[in-house]
Chain A
């Protein structure tokens, strides 16, 4: 993790981890999550869903910090993130 300014309690900080859930069939391929994920976790997949859109896929799932921005920006309730404790992390699609 890169900091703008190293926090004084950096040794005590725990970076949150998120587990992404993508409900592919609900996606309309707007790309809001891909564009605004601060960690560049997502990209639009090459595959299509049954409506003919490209849903997002996690290319760097281990980078997700559970900020929930993708979940909040998604207009179709198609992605959400759940906080996990270290070690339990996985990505479901």
Chain B
């Protein structure tokens, strides 16, 4: 055995400690951005030196929904759109656990849209990472509530004519404590944002724009995921604290990224405890898990 192969065998990829290696290679297409976003999450968890026993990753259905199956921490793959309700139950039962929802735009914002706004309103202490690739990818490229106007999808062959959601505005106006948006290319800033979001007390939301090469890029003739990464490179504009009314995403035009909201406010459990304390006085034992 040469020195070189020996060295390779002795060393393992630094992310392997956080991945279920029996499931790797993952199913994502070549040049899909999802693998890059999972690296950012693994790097964030690693750099924060969190106890792996106190982290839970919850995903719904879809390409991004596979993340729960690849992370080697407590994880759960829920039914379509129900990742947030599961995460909320988990977070109430085990308030000391860092509960991270990692799912796609179709799952979180369309089918799970109502859960999303009400969990943000209650300022539940969870982190929601929404990978936005502008389309329902796994089910075959149907139009999503995030598909930009005029973009083609399997169910909008002449272009989408529905107004898409502006996700940071939706999250912030629903009551989130932390809101940021980055692309899969802004890998270091994304890792920092994930670290901030995970340590934030209350509802934190990070939107990650990522390339879907097989459906979104192909149906819109945008090339490969690498071409979309180059597009993000040339068209992203970093504007921390931007007015969220201006961060809409139009088809193949500038993408405003940055940290938009970072505020302190009482979480759901803190409000519950404070209210019961107010009503029942010393008879009430505050709930802390």
Contacts and interface: CB of A to CB of B under 8 A. Distances in A.
Interface of A: 21, 23, 26, 28-32, 35-36, 53, 69, 71-78, 80, 82, 90, 92-93
B8 A21 contact: yes
Contact of B13 (A32, A77, A92): A77
Given A73-B36, A75-B39, A21 B191 contact: no
B236 interface: no
B229 A32 contact: yes
A76 B40 contact: no
B4 A77 contact: no
Contact of B30 (A29, A72, A73): A29
B283 interface: no
A34 to B, nearest CB: 9
B36 A74 contact: yes
Interface stretch (B14-22, B52-60, B239-247): B14-22
B5 interface: yes
B278 interface: no
A69 B8 CA distance: 20
Given A53-B30, A69-B187, A72-B188, A32 B36 contact: yes
A76 to B, nearest CB: 6
B226 A31 contact: yes
Secondary structure of the B side of the interface?
helix
Contacts of B32: 75
Interface in B1-32: 4-5, 7-8, 11, 13-16, 19, 24-26, 28-32
Contacts of A30: 30-31, 224-226
A93 B15 CA distance: 18
B87 interface: no
Given A77-B35, A92-B8, 8 more contacts: A23-B8, A31-B31, A71-B14, A74-B36, A75-B33, A77-B24, A90-B4, A93-B4
B126 interface: no
Contacts of B43: 72
Contact of A75 (B5, B35, B188): B35
A78 B7 CA distance: 15
10 shortest A-B CB distances, which residue pairs? A75-B35, A28-B30, A92-B4, A30-B31, A72-B187, A92-B8, A75-B36, A77-B13, A80-B13, A31-B226
Contacts of B40: 72
Contacts of B14: 71, 80
B34 interface: yes
